[in-house]
């Protein structure tokens, strides 16, 4: 499990969510493409509520937040999606478990994107 997307996928499934991957590899451009330019995953909670996830490293959270805000500012439906609190950033980093020199574990910082 190397990519932030795979880590978020596992985290959400552990929480009981049904999750779909919305990004894919475009072999013609040799790039990954997200839905609407920023959505990597779509998660549905057991309650039926759904939300969309952008995954990145913790260091990349600010840049991704700015990118999402730029994209949604050009689209009324996407703006409504963000205003409803349905877009979440997952930032992944390896952190120590509190013991100096101890084993480092992947941790996720979750942030709801706002305008």
Tens of pLDDT, residue by residue over 52-84, are 999 999 999 999 999 999 999 999 999 998 999
Mean per-residue pLDDT for 5-21? 95
CA–CA separation, 79 and 97 (whole Å): 38
Find all residues with CB under 8 Å of 96, minimum gap 6, and list them. Answer: 102, 103, 104, 105
Which CATH number is 90's domain given? Answer: 3.40.1350
At residue 12, the pLDDT reads: 96
Residue-range definition of the domain harbouring residue 102: 4-112
Q: Give the span between the Cα atoms of 90 and 52, in whole angstroms.
A: 10
User: Has residue 88 got a pLDDT over 70?
Assistant: yes
Query: How many domains in the chain?
Result: 1
């Amino acid at each position: 499990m190397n990519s932030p997307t795979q880590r978020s996928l596992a985290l959400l499934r552990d929480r009981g969510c049904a999750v779909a991957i919305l990004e894919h590899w475009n072999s013609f451009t040799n790039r990954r493409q997200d839905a609407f330019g920023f959505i990597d995953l779509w998660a549905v909670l057991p309650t039926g509520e759904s939300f969309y996830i952008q995954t990145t490293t913790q260091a990349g959270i600010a840049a991704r937040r700015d990118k999402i805000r730029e994209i949604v500012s050009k689209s009324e439906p996407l703006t409504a999606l963000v205003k409803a609190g349905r877009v979440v950033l997952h930032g992944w980093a390896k952190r120590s478990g509190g013991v100096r020199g101890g084993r480092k574990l992947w941790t996720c910082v979750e942030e709801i994107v706002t305008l």
